[in-house]
Amino acid sequence: MANTTMRAIVAYPKEPGRVEMIDVERPALPAGHVMIAMRDVGTDATDREVIAAEHGGSAPDGGDYLILGHESIGQIAEVGEGVTGLNVGDWVVATVRRPDGCPNCRRGESDMCLWGGYVERGIIGAHGYLTEYVIEKPEFLVTLPPHLSRVGALLEPISINVKAIGQAWSIQRRMLWEPKTALIFGLGSIGILAGMMLRQRGIAAYLYSRSPADSPKARLLRDVGITYIATSDVPDIAALGDHIGRIDFMLEATGAAPVAAKAMGIVQPNAVLCLLSVTGGSAREEVDIAAVNKHLVLGNGVIFGSVNSNAGHFREAVQVLDGFEKTWPGFAERLISRRVPLDRFREGLEDRDEDIKVLFEVSAAE
């Protein structure tokens, strides 16, 4: 092989804030694995939290760095001995979490890990995808039809929503529940993709966020039938119920703990709130917990947290993404605000208000 090294974007868990592009050894391909040539890698708030050492961290193999990136799309570059069903050139997306030996992990649900001994590629204890070549086992890969490859990096955030929304719907089998209206907190890729999924289910979706109502990303929502509510129009979260009326399902995806706390106080009778932001650091706020508790008890309210997604959710996400392209052709591509080459990684990691999803272009398709 001509090149024995490859470029990688890495964080240093023991040095919060430090990110570098370094040369690392190009991995060998063991039997039973495939080598993936990474094409696009998405970034999100989790990457910034890992860099800041507010979440995840811990470098693998006794080293001092962690290769970042957990939202990926790549093409099979080489197929290891004994691997069937995958071919050079296939488009694949890798899941994020790798199991420990707990009962949930053993049945393929490492997203529901009981023991907490899992690792997550690009986040904690295992290298991620912000590099040129990645080695993986077929069981952690999902193939994508080529027509979805341009937006394939959205598969991971979609899979997060597939799990979260699926869980909410399973929980609500506890009674007669005919959801008609949903409220999403947060105008990021998770929030928008959730809104699109709910629209696909025929649910009226409202999305609440700080961006001005006439900002380009808020205006984008109209094209997929999501109603935007700016905080400047309804500053008090407690007033959202009066504004919208009956709300059956809420999803918190702002990353702001105070928003999550306020959302807990407005769960309507028989409704469910899904908490989806990993809030790093610490935030203190005075909450009337007696009132929140009483309100939840008297209303049979459910609040639950959801994290990660397994291969099954990724497979369902392929169907969801395909459905998006059929209903709103070309819209998913508009969620990609910027495409940045690997060597401009500092720019790519900047948190800009107008961004929805930023992708690193690691290499071009062959």
The β-bridge partners of 127 are: none
Shortest distance in whole angstroms from residue 45 CB to ligand BGC = 7
Binding status of residue 44 toward ligand BGC by CB under 6 A: yes
Q: From the list ligand BGC, Zn ion, none, which binds 307 (C-beta under 5 to 8 Å, kind-based)?
A: ligand BGC
Convert residues 261-280 into a mask of x (bound to ligand BGC by CB under 6 A) and - (unbound): -----------------x--
CB of 56 to Zn ion, least distance (A): 16
CB of 248 to ligand BGC, least distance (A): 25
In sequence order, what DSSP letters do the residues of 36-64 get, joined into one string?
Answer: EEEEEEEE-HHHHHHHTTSS-B--STT-S
Q: Look-up: residue for tokens 């205006």?
A: 219
Residue 286 identity (one-letter amino acid): E
Q: Shortest gap between Cβ of 283 and ligand BGC (angstroms)?
A: 18
Q: Tell me how far CA of residue 312 lies from CA of 156, 168, 240, 309, in angstroms.
A: 12, 17, 34, 8
Comparing CA positions, the residue from 80, 1, 91 lying closest to residue 38 is 91
User: Which positions from 107 to 136 touch Zn ion by CB under 5 A, shown as an x/- string?
Assistant: ------x-x---------------------
Quickly tell me which residue has 């690691």 as its tokens: 362
Residue window 49-88: x/- pattern of binding to Zn ion, with contact defined by CB under 5 A: ----------------------------------------
- Minimum distance from CB of 352 to Zn ion (Å)? 36
By the rule CB under 6 A, 123 interacts with ligand BGC: yes
Report the largest interatomic distance among the alpha carbons of the chain, rounded to a whole angstrom: 68
Integer Cα distance of 312 and 63 in angstroms: 32
Q: Which of 40, 109, 120, 248 binds ligand BGC (CB under 6 A)?
A: 120
Q: Among 21, 102, 256, 340, which residue interacts with Zn ion (rule: CB under 5 A)?
A: 102
102 binds, among Zn ion, ligand BGC, none (CB under 5 to 8 A by kind): Zn ion
Residue 189 contacts ligand BGC per CB under 6 A: no
* By CB under 6 A, residue 248 contacts ligand BGC: no
Rounded Cα–Cα distance for residues 121 and 133 (Å): 14
Pseudo-torsion of CA 60, 62, 65, 67, nearest 10°? Answer: -20
- Binding residue for ligand BGC (CB under 6 A) from 42, 56, 152, 188? 56
Helix and strand counts by DSSP (H, E) for the chain: 11, 19
Which residue is listed with tokens 């004994």?
Answer: 82
| List 181, 189, 308, 310, residue binding ligand BGC (CB under 6 A) | 308
Q: Does 109 bind ligand BGC (CB under 6 A)?
A: no
Closest separation between CB of residue 254 and ligand BGC, Å? 14
Cα-based distances in Å from 277 to 39, 55, 258, 260: 27, 12, 12, 9
Q: How far apart are the C-alpha atoms of 110 and 94, rounded to whole Å?
A: 14
Task: Calculate the alpha carbon distances from 123 to 173, 248, 254, 339, 360 in Å.
Answer: 33, 33, 19, 21, 17
Size of the site for ligand BGC (CB under 6 A): 13
**Residue 127 CB, nearest distance to Zn ion (Å)?**
20
Which run of H or of E encompasses 293? helix 289-298
Judged by CB, which is closer to ligand BGC: 122, or 195?
122
| 160 near ligand BGC (CB under 6 A) | yes
Distance CA 99, CA 111 (A): 8
Q: Which is nearer to ligand BGC, 129 or 206 (CB)?
A: 129
Contact of residue 56 among ligand BGC, Zn ion, none (CB under 5-8 Å per partner type): ligand BGC
Residues 207/192, Cβ–Cβ less than 8 Å: yes
Binding site for Zn ion (CB under 5 A): 100, 102, 105, 113, 115
Binding site residues, ligand BGC, CB under 6 A? 44, 46, 56, 70, 96-97, 120, 123, 156, 160, 278, 307-308
